[in-house]
Structure 1
């Protein structure tokens, strides 16, 4: 590995949601903490102390009530506004360590460190700077490919002597083989539960066995993605960093309600809000959509209630990203499929046939294209003064469908009324 010149780093925040809560609640350090999903349903982030108590990822909170009570586990609703802001702060710091960076998720980023002569010092500095300036602990994994960087990060989090960073490029061949021999295939980026089972049936249980398997036969059995994964494990970069996220070809905005709703007015309000969110995402990537799908559904887990899960797809004569236009079509679609007497638990919209707004060739006989000035002004005002400062009248005006967040912490960094106060 010493001869490899490519050095890709993966920086991953430790138990990110929990860490965000601990920044403003130092009393939570070394205590078991879990963060719940939408509507306070399942555990989606767990501190190491909670993991040690046996709290599994995704476990419904009602199933561990006794455990929570017995061990004094602190439980929080997801505070997405806080987490997004803390993520932006972390990513801003990381951008100072390499000109080539890919923000992979809310708590992960790839950095290309190729050519730097101080890679180990840079990795340590990243960890120290992020923790000092945000309070978020991170680990750094380095390798000649993105897949190996992911695995190096896995080692950095679990190896007691790594001190939070691990570099595959510094290992000899025998050292590398020894490490990969002790990592199960399920820890490889992109190898899910089904692939793990399929590989196990072939006798491939470890990363070393997967790396050294016959590539042509594995490609024939599992496809080209598997071959790329194996090549990445061999130190051959096959997956490049994406400095700019590609425009989405489909945008979905949906949510389960905090409590079941029956009135069409509540569904109209929820769908109007979802359309506004989806349309904003369209405009952010300078796109327009040619197809709108609307769906509503009852709670499939309530077998004591009648079920009804309709959807309607609406082709748009003229593709658009205008919230008002899309809301009009969405509410018309809702009116065509709504039935009274049902308890609705979820609704959503899907925008598809997405294309670049600047490259769309209009129809000579279609209506005059919409002037984007109004939506541009709305977005600029909200960007300056805060999301929701200006919105359409029906966008979230009713509250009956809002998701349940009974244990949400304050929005410490983005809401003037919820700033932390000393004393």
Structure 2
């Protein structure tokens, strides 16, 4: 049996965690550059605000109904996600962190007599220790756990957890085929043209026909809806072949120093991930793009192969800046950049070429420097030590005018509680009453 732990309206729930005054109010979290709604509270959904709604089209509605909008605080969301994952790992080590707000658990090695009670207990534990509401779907396959969690999310009588009944055709019939994991709006019209309108219809489809229409994952869908597991838990992902980072600029720019700073920042993030994965990169690349929604759209790309593989932030960022200088054109106004690290190899297995160009001692010194760099930034906060080019300009940064504090990742942003005189008097009165009831006076206590 598998379980899916799905955090409800995750980004909004993270914001509410430190703003209890927002309970019951419509709240949305916005995408990069504060453009669109990417997370909505139930109250915001009830107002008809769709996922991906451009904020400029809904300004009047926001004002009329007092909708609270936040810029995406990914530092906060990532930290809360890690806390949830750590808590779930204490329940079972067999966990797949599928996304920032979803995790699959393998329950086969747990002694669970009542899956529904177990699910409700886990939900209560996450709410108590982390403060985030979750919905839990329990079923023999990943696809069914998705449907079960979706059902639990919108049906209060489940108390946030649903154990999918065996061969329950009624539940399958209640889901539109586009709600099935892996179908979505792209494949749904093709399926409906074939007379497949519900999850039940899809479960009855000939697996061979499903594969012809949707590829091998179509066959897997049919089997999974029937209770046969095709998608195993993936606890350890395969080493990545490419690591990339890309961001839109806060505003289009023709200033090369702004582009260099942006590319350096992305290079820092990519190098950090490279080290976390225990890998080294032989190749680096940069792409620059203008705004595709404006006349004269253009893009350019350049790459280079390094003399030796590395995970050194300085080496990587220096190379990326050289690539920017090679492809940058001052007559263009750039909208977005991306960086790529490719030809990745394990940091523990390095092969020298016939000329012995890879100096292992240099790699060891680089590794020691990066270990010290990561330790300092972990202790004093991200960006405490960073390349000078990155610090040259923050003008490329996306707009985040409604950004909440970094409550859990910056000492300066830790929430402060103020004790009022009234509250202090109440505490004192309670202490006196408790002391008298125990036979002690206030002074003696």
TM-score normalized by the length of structure 1 = 0.93
Distance in 2, matches of 1:299 and 1:218, equals 39
- Cα 1:360–1:199 change in 2 (3 A) is farther
Partner of 2:117: 121
Structure 2 distance, partners of 1:155, 1:198, is 25
1:374 and 2:369 equivalent? yes
Could you tell me which of 252, 264, 267 is aligned with 2:256?
264
Q: Are residues 384 and 417 of structure 1, via their aligned partners in 2, closer, same or farther at CA, if it must alter by over 3 Å?
A: closer
Larger radius of gyration: 2
Q: In the TM superposition, what whole-angstrom CA distance separates every residue of 1:313-342 from its partner, at most 9, and x where no partner exists?
A: 223343322222222221111111111132
What is the correspondence of 1:142-291 to structure 2 with a 5 Å cutoff? 142-168=138-164, 171-173=165-167, 176-291=168-283
CA distance in 2, matches of 1:54, 1:368: 61
Mapped partners of 2:30, 2:273: distance in 1: 25
1:367 is displaced (CA, Å) by 4.4
Does residue 386 of structure 1 match 2:381?
A: yes
Corresponding residue SS for 2:235: coil
- 2:31 counterpart of 1:33: no
In the aligned structure 2, how far is the partner of 1:199 from the partner of 1:396?
52
Alignment map for 1:49-64 (pairs within 5 Å): 49-64=43-58
Is 1:324–2:314 an aligned residue pair? yes
Match of 2:71 among 74, 77, 95: 77
Please state how far the C-alpha of 1:307 moved relative to its aligned partner. Answer: 3.5
Matched, 1:308 2:301: no
Instruction: Count residues in correspondence.
Output: 411
Higher deviation after alignment, 334-343 or 140-149: 334-343
Looking at structure 2, the residues matched to 291 and 190 of structure 1 have their Cα atoms a distance apart, in angstroms, of: 33
Structure 1 runs not aligned, ≥5 long: 1-6
**Maintained 8 Å contact 1:296/1:346:** yes
TM-aligned CA distance change 1:308 to 1:218, over 3 Å: closer
Which deviations, in whole Å up to 9, do the C-alpha atoms of 1:69-109 show, x marking residues without a partner?
Answer: 11111111011111111111211221222231111111111
Q: 1:404 aligns with which of 399, 403, 425?
A: 399
Structure 1 residue 364 and structure 2 residue 358: aligned? no
SS in 1 for 2:157: coil
1:354 aligned onto 2:348: no
8 Å CA contact 2:210–2:222 kept in 1: the answer is: no
Return the alpha-carbon distance in structure 2 between the equivalents of residues 326 and 147 of structure 1: 41
Q: Alignment partner for residue 22 of structure 1, among 2, 11, 16?
A: 16
Q: For 2:72 and 2:148, how far apart are their aligned partners in 1? A: 29
SS of equivalent to 1:161: helix
Aligned partners of 1:221 and 1:190: how far apart in 2?
13
Deviation at 1:269, TM superposition (A): 1.2
Residue of structure 1 in register with 2:131 after alignment: 135
Q: Deviations over 1:184-204 (max 9, x none)?
A: 111111113221111111111
User: Structure 1 residue 28: deviation in Å?
Assistant: 0.8
RMSD, matched Cα = 1.6
Distance 1:48 1:406 in 2: 23
1:124-163 alpha-carbon deviations (Å, 9 max, x no partner)? 1111111112221001000001111111101111223211
Conserved 8 A contact 1:110-1:241: yes
Higher relative contact order (CA 8 A, sep 6+): 1
Instruction: Check whether the contact 1:307–1:342 (CA below 8 A) recurs between aligned residues.
Output: no
My pick for the range that moved more, 34-43 or 263-272, is 263-272
